[in-house]
Structure 1
Amino acid sequence: MKQMKKDIEKNKNEINALEQYSRRDCLEIKGVPHNNNECTDEIVIAVAKRLDITLKKENICVSHRLSQKKDQNTSSAPIIVKFASRKIKDEMFNNRSKSFKARVSEADAHKPRIYINESLTKANKKMFYQCLQFKRQNGFKFIWTRNGTILMKKNETSATIAVHNTADMMKHKISPSAEMS
């Protein structure tokens, strides 16, 4: 029974890794208000332009709004976009800091900021949320993702930690007494 549980956990991790790999060319864009008759490809192109990236429709395989839970506001559903090239996806992702200031148009200055994130699996989103809590509780300064892997750093000079599961986090838990010395 113990071996079966290990095998099931291993299989779940492998399936998650494969699902995350299939999202390697995808980004999620949050904060773009929904309009009737919108074309999400055109929205993605407009966001790219605000990031000083020239993007054409041919560079986008597919884009659409993600469905929201029934109790959530669908007018702010994120847009997921799969790019034809990882190079373009990486350029958008690497320039995302400009997206905090970017709006789809100058007329949108009063609307929420745009956020660009990697498309994470449900399991990895849950792990990222747990890492955010861990970060706050244990004095870590940085958390980010790169190619679907969650990365953390205690400070500017500390080593980068790759987090794949809860055990990876707990290896780096700092006890209050260790902080004092």
Structure 2
Amino acid sequence: MSPKKKCAGCCRILEKNIASMQCGQCKDNYHTVCVNIDDEKFSMLTKEWKANWTCPVCVCRKPRTRDNTNTPVRSGSSGGVTASGATVTPITYITDELAASPASYENITRRTKVVATKSNRSPSPDISHENTVEAEAIGSSAAYVTENRLREILRQEISHVLKTTIRDLVSEEFSSIKQEISNFNDSLNFFNSCFENIKKEMEEKTATIKNLLTENASLQYTVSDLSNRMGTLEQVLRESNVEINGIPERKSENLVNIITQVAKSADHELLVEDILHVTRVAKLNPKTDRARTVAVKLRSLRQRDALLAAVATYNKRNPTNKLSTSHLGFEGPSTPVFVAEHLSPSNKSLHAAARKKKRELGYKYVWVRNGRIYMRKDDFSQVLLIRNMDCLNNVK
């Protein structure tokens, strides 16, 4: 594999994608940048001009037409030649130019290359001072370096500049990142503090809710127990009472006589002295046309049971002519008269729900005995005691 071509100015490899020029005399190749040809100018050059193009080195080798043998030698402040014949360049001038414009590294290198190439030839008086690269130094005591030393110095300077620049950029970026991390830590600490407070409050609220739930369950049980006790107490207070439905209301009615007539119609003897109190009870639904219920308080529980048994026996003996208003002497159409135990409001609601459940499930019997409600599916099934709505809901 043939070696890659290098630029005669900067000694770098010529890449295919970078524009270059070839000298028509020495056949050396140069980057267009190394010979001060920009891309716009390069695109305007013709093939013939490119083929006849002469590099700066060959231009310097070409002698002038006029006589310049008497040109005086430049002073010591300019560039010179060492004892070995190598051309040197003032370091002060180069470093100043590098400091002013680091991008001029390639131009300085190219110019140094040209001078070094020229210096390999023996000095000739025919070559004027215009064929060398001008390099002015500051002060008469300026030091001179060779091309290799110059390359090393330039490399060190560039490395130092790059390191300093990179260090400054990295320091600036790290300072910004450090500030952002500090702000993030502050925000995180703030949110963590808020979270801990919320967590603590939630734990307190959870404990409070658990206590309230426990208290609520206890209170519900207590209320349920008290309601049952209250219902039982109300029912005990009504244990000697009976309620009669279906008796028409009259303005000048005598309820005591009506009650004794009911007992007489059922073949039961009930004295006026046995009736402690009798009254009509207010309607649960004021809009209904039914007559108000008559509540009767008898002297004893035995008298209540005797009256209920007499009415039940009469209705069984006369299924087609049960106790009605015609037996009590009321004029008009005959309507049934019902005699039953006087239930408390809660038991009355439970009794109504039990009758509805009976129709839904096809049960045969629902009755009341001593303030308690019973259900039975048929003549051979077990008797069920309905204490409350929970018991009724469990009936299947």
TM-score, scaled relative to structure 2:
0.42
Name the SS for the 2:378 alignment partner: coil
Structure 2 residue 160 is the aligned partner of structure 1 residue 160: no
Q: How far off its partner does 1:88 sit?
A: 1.3
Q: Which residue of structure 2 aligns with residue 8 of structure 1?
A: 223
Q: How far off its partner does 1:121 sit?
A: 0.9
Paired residue total: 172
Distance in 1 separating the partners of 2:330 and 2:351: 33
Q: How far off its partner does 1:107 sit?
A: 5.4
* Structure 2 unmatched runs, 5+: 1-215, 316-321
TM-score, scaled relative to structure 1:
0.88
2:294 to 56, 72, 79: 79
1:144 to 336, 355, 367: 367
Relative to total residues, which structure has the larger strand share, 1 or 2?
1
Name the SS for the 1:128 alignment partner: helix
Structure 2 residue 344 is the aligned partner of structure 1 residue 128: no
Distance in 1 separating the partners of 2:217 and 2:351: 28
* Structure 1 unmatched runs, 5+: 174-181
Give % identity. Answer: 24
**Residues 324 and 334 in structure 2, CA contact (< 8 A), matched pair in contact too:** no
Distance in 1 separating the partners of 2:298 and 2:369: 16
Q: How far off its partner does 1:143 sit?
A: 0.2
Distance in 1 separating the partners of 2:362 and 2:249: 37
Distance in 2 separating the partners of 1:63 and 1:109: 25
Q: How far off its partner does 1:157 sit?
A: 1.5
Opposite residue 218 of structure 2, the aligned amino acid is Q
Q: How far off its partner does 1:138 sit?
A: 1.1
Name the SS for the 1:112 alignment partner: coil
2:275 to 49, 55, 60: 60
Q: Which has the higher contact order (CA 8 A, sep 6+)?
A: 1
Opposite residue 101 of structure 1, the aligned amino acid is L
Structure 1 pair 6–71 and aligned structure 2 pair: CA distance change class (3 A): same
Structure 1 pair 67–171 and aligned structure 2 pair: CA distance change class (3 A): closer
CA RMSD of aligned residues (A): 1.7
Opposite residue 40 of structure 1, the aligned amino acid is L
Q: Which residue of structure 1 aligns with residue 250 of structure 2?
A: 35
Distance in 2 separating the partners of 1:22 and 1:33: 27
Q: Which residue of structure 2 aligns with residue 176 of structure 1?
A: none
Q: How far off its partner does 1:92 sit?
A: 1.2
**Residues 51 and 102 in structure 1, CA contact (< 8 A), matched pair in contact too:** no
Q: Which residue of structure 1 aligns with residue 194 of structure 2?
A: none
